[in-house]
Chain A
Amino acid sequence: QSALTQPPSASGSPGQSVTISCTGTSSDVGGYNHVSWYQQHPGKAPKLMIYDVSKRPSGVPDRFSGSKSGNTASLTVSGLQAEDEADYYCASCAGINNVLFGGGTKVTVL
């Protein structure tokens, strides 16, 4: 199975919104409502930002939102802040014993 497809980069000015896509197939993103998103700053561990497509863990700002349409999931960061500059990875359940990650998107705050 191939990795999920994410754009390598995305950018926006402070206060603007940026949306990152994550494209898979009907065997992963399209087949399960278990897409998650992770934020990773350089040299740090990943942090869960969104799970089950659109749910936010406690402590994650509501500027972060997730959605899904067909085989493509999306993460939107509204009201961009400097600290949002990081790599973002999507992941999707791909069966009872497998998970696929996206290749990652580097978000730059201009």
Chain B
Amino acid sequence: EVQLVESGGGLVQPGGSLRLSCKASGFTFSSHGIHWVRQAPGKGLEWVSYIASSTTTIYYADSVKGRFTISRDNAKNSLFLQMNSLRDEDTAVYYCATSLGWFQFDSWGQGTLVTVSS
């Protein structure tokens, strides 16, 4: 069974940093591209970033470009999102999701809440 478990969320002040993790199991992690998708409280879904299986291809949404960095460790079946210069509008539940190709999201984790507030 595919399982994705996010961690690392919490309360951070504007301008601060946070590193999210996503631990994968139940599938061949190194063969799959993975996305981060976020959802602000009471709002819809917003794509954040994508990393290919071999890390050769990385994409970011314009809203996070230059502030967030996606990475992965295939040996540890783990995905990461380093978030710097955080803003109030980055407050959201962050989900990791496996890629089905063409920006379609197959399996999802349960999410981790990031709150940016002073």
Binding site for B on A (CB under 8 A): 3, 32, 34, 36, 38, 44-48, 51-52, 57, 89, 91, 93-94, 97-99, 101-104
Contacts and interface: CB of A to CB of B under 8 A. Distances in A.
Interface stretch (B12-20, B26-34, B44-52, B81-89): B44-52
Contacts of A101: 44-47
B102 A34 contact: yes
Interface in B44-100: 44-47, 50, 59, 61, 95, 97, 100
By secondary structure, the B interface counts as strand
A82 to B, nearest CB: 23
Contacts of A91: 45, 47, 103-105
Interface of B: 37, 44-47, 50, 59, 61, 95, 97, 100-111
Contacts, number: 63
Nearest to A100: B47
Given A38-B105, A51-B104, 18 more contacts: A34-B104, A45-B109, A47-B108, A48-B107, A48-B108, A51-B106, A52-B102, A52-B104, A89-B44, A91-B104, A93-B104, A97-B59, A98-B59, A101-B44, A101-B45, A101-B47, A102-B44, A104-B45
